[in-house]
Amino acid sequence: MPRKKSYLRSQAAKKRMAEQLAVPCYLSVSQGHGTGFRHPVSKWRKSAYTEKSHKLVLPPDCPEKKFVLIVGDSHLRHFVDGHVPLPEGCLSFAISSTPGAAASELEKEIVNIQLDRTPSLVVLIAPSNNLTASRTVTEAAADFGRYVATVASRWTKVCVLDFPRRLTVDLEVQNHLSQEYHRVAARLGVKYFSVAEFFPMDNLDLWARDGVHLSDSEGMKILGDLLWNVSFQEVSEILPPPSPPLESVRSSQPVRKVTPRLVVTGPTPLPVPPPSEWTVVGQGKKVRVESVFSIPLTSARFSPEILKQMDKEFPSDLDSVEYTASFPAGKKVSSSGSHYSVCFILQNIQNINVLYLLLSGVS
Whether pLDDT at 166 is above 70: yes
Stretch among 93-102, 116-125, 156-165, 327-336 having the lowest mean pLDDT: 327-336
Please choose, from the candidates 103, 183, 174, 181, the residue with its C-alpha nearest in 3D space to the C-alpha of residue 143.
103
What are the φ and ψ backbone dihedral angles of 125, each rounded to 5 degrees?
A: -85, 120
* More reliable by pLDDT, 212 or 327: 212
Secondary structure of residue 91 in the 3-state scheme: strand
Classify strands 158-161 and 191-193 as parallel, antiparallel or unpaired: parallel
158 pairs with which residues across the strands? 122
Instruction: Grade residue 14 by pLDDT with cuts at 50, 70 and 90.
Output: low
Taking Cα atoms as reference points, which of 223, 240, 157 lies closest to residue 191?
Answer: 157
As beta bridge partners, residue 55 has 97
The reply to whether CATH 3.40.50.1110 applies to domain 12-236 is yes
Secondary structure string (H, E, C) spanning 33-48: CCCCCCCCCCCCCECC
Nearest to 47 by CA among 93, 123, 99, 83: 99
Mean pLDDT for the stretch of residues 143-159:
96
Res. 190: pLDDT tops 90: yes
**What's the mean pLDDT in 6-24?**
61
pLDDT confidence of residue 240: 56
Is residue 321 over pLDDT 50? no
The answer to whether the CB of 238 falls within 8 A of the CB of 120 is yes
Helix axes 103-112, 137-154, angle to 10 degrees: 10
pLDDT > 70 fraction of the chain, expressed in percent and rounded = 57
Gap between the Cα atoms of 304 and 159, Å rounded: 103
Exposure string (b/e) for 105-132, b if CB count within 10 Å is 16 or more? bbbbbbeeeeeeeebbbbbbbbbbbbbb
> Which one-letter amino acid corresponds to residue 252?
S
Q: How far is CA 112 from CA 45, 74, 76, 107, 321, in A?
A: 16, 19, 19, 9, 120
pLDDT of residue 47: 93
Q: Which of 9-18, 42-51, 85-94, 290-299 has the lowest mean pLDDT?
A: 290-299
CB atoms within 10 A of CB 339: 21
Which of 142-146, 214-218, 219-223, 355-359 has the weakest average pLDDT?
A: 355-359
**Separation of alpha carbons 268 and 363, rounded Å:** 19
Higher confidence at residue 345 or residue 236?
Answer: 236
CA gap 77, 280 in Å, rounded = 103
More confident residue, 342 or 191: 191
Per-residue pLDDT band for 248 (boundaries 50, 70, 90) equals very low
pLDDT of residue 259: 44
The more confidently predicted of residues 278 and 135 is 135
* pLDDT one-digit tens code per residue, 119-131: 999 999 999 999 9
Mean pLDDT estimate for the chain: 75
Predicted confidence at residue 315, as pLDDT, reads 63
The DSSP element (H or E) to which 72 belongs, if any, is strand 66-72
Q: Report domain extents, the chain.
A: 12-236, 277-360
Tell how far CA 35 is from the center of its chain: 43
Q: How many angstroms separate the Cα of 303 from the Cα of each of 36, 73, 298, 358?
A: 116, 114, 15, 12
Q: How far is CA 42 from the centre of its chain?
A: 46
Please check whether residue 218 is in contact with residue 205, taking contact to mean a CB–CB distance below 8 angstroms: yes
> Which of 261 and 149 is assigned the larger pLDDT?
149
The whole-number pLDDT of residue 237 equals 76
The pLDDT assigned to 241 comes to: 53
Res. 24: pLDDT tops 80: no
Give the mean model confidence (pLDDT) for residues 146-152. Answer: 97
**Predicted confidence (pLDDT) at residue 200 exceeds the cutoff of 80:** yes
For the cut 50, the answer to whether the pLDDT of residue 334 exceeds it is no
pLDDT at 113: 93
Q: What pLDDT is recorded for position 2?
A: 52
